[in-house]
Amino acid sequence: MVSVVAPKKQASKASRRFWRNPASIIGVVLLSILILVAVLAGVISPNPIAQDLGQRLLPPSSQHFLGTDQLGRSVWGRVAHGAALSLQVGFLVTLISVSLGVLVGLLAGTFGGIWDNVLMRLTDIFFAFPSLILAMAIAAALGPSLTNTIIAVAMVSWPSYARLVRAQALALREREFVEAARALGTSPVQIALRHVLPNTLTPVLIQASFDIGQAILTAAGLSFIGFGAQPPTPEWGAMVSETRNFISEAPWASSAPAIAILLAVLAFNLLGDGLRDALDPRNTK
């Protein structure tokens, strides 16, 4: 990632590549809409759990943009509140797993030896869990709630960052500028923070963009089978589960939150594709 080209020029080149890619633009537009809906959720529907049994299973209309569910709640209002919840889950999970993974990877890659061995074997163990099963075990142990879902999904997401950062740190250790810094007497910690960390940011950023979407998908899946957010919380996965028995009478009630999940995951996947193509020119197809 380090080259003799001035960093500014490189950044502007990457930015041009990013904005010329239709995938990135669609991703950014979808994400902006999502954030806007999440921010305005309180305005769209002041109370997403208020029931009105006289208004059950109404089709989409001017009054209820996405119709109502089996308890007469506005689906659009609940989807909007769900956007806020899902974005929080996605960002929090990724923040926790990036912090933990980068820390473990940096420690292992910088100090090597016993540190490397112990930390990477620990990473291997966490890597061996199929994500949903470990998340279910954690959710079952700590009790079903959205907070525990965040902890559970973060626990299965951090190992990939640890591996990524460690690999980068090992590769950088052999580079001239790091060797020069070492020869000048810079401490390992300073090398890690000043030289290794900045150089791992690009791959971490790309990975994180994909993982936010995956975290939203996993968390919604956990809520769907009853281990995440509990009804009447307007969480997308829980909403699909609550309304699935009304699919023939009111397909909008379960499809709207499901399509919301799809669009959110799609937004982050496209963003990740765009970032990868822009920041890592070797991948440009």
Partner 1 sequence: MLNYTIRRLFFVLFVVWGVSIATFFLSQVVPGDPALVALGDKATDEMIANFRTKNGLDQPIVAQYFSYVGRLLQGDLGTSLRTGRPIADDLRDFFPGTLELSATALLIAALIGIPAGILAALTQNKAPDLIVRLLALLGGATPIYWLAILLLEFLHNKLRLLPGPGRLDAYLIAPPRVTGFVGIDAILARDWEVFADSLTHLILPAFVLGAFSAALLARMTRAAMLETMTQDFIRTARAKGIAASRVVFKHALRNAFLPVLTVLGGVLGGLLSGAVLTETIFSWPGIGRYTTDAAISLDFPAVMGVTLLAGLAYSIINLVTDLLYALFDPRITYG
Interface residues toward partner 1, by CB under 8 A: 121-122, 124-126, 128-134, 136-143, 213, 217, 220-221, 224-227, 237, 240-241, 244, 247-248, 251, 254-255, 258, 261-263, 265-266, 269-270, 285
Give whichever of 27 and 195 is closer to partner 1, judged by the CB atom: 27
Minimal distance in Å, beta carbon 6 to partner 1?
30
Give whichever of 38 and 256 is closer to partner 1, judged by the CB atom: 256
Ramachandran angles phi, psi of 57, nearest 5° = 50, 40
Minimal distance in Å, beta carbon 29 to partner 1?
15
Q: How far is CA 281 from the centre of its chain?
A: 24
Minimal distance in Å, beta carbon 204 to partner 1?
19
Minimal distance in Å, beta carbon 57 to partner 1?
15
Minimal distance in Å, beta carbon 141 to partner 1?
5
Give whichever of 197 and 274 is closer to partner 1, judged by the CB atom: 274
Counting runs of H as helices and runs of E as strands, what totals does the chain give?
Answer: 12, 0
CA angle at 175 for the pair 171 and 181, rounded to the nearest 5°: 120
Give Dmax over CA atoms of the chain in angstroms.
77
Closest CA to 43 of 71, 72, 84: 84
Give whichever of 115 and 127 is closer to partner 1, judged by the CB atom: 127
Residue 242 token pair: 């609550």
Q: Is 74 helix (H, G, I), strand (E, B) or coil?
A: strand
Give whichever of 50 and 262 is closer to partner 1, judged by the CB atom: 262
Residues whose CB falls within 8 Å of the CB of residue 258, separated by 6 or more in sequence, listed in order: 236, 240
Question: How many CA atoms lie within 13 Å of 19's alpha carbon, on the beta-carbon side?
Answer: 5
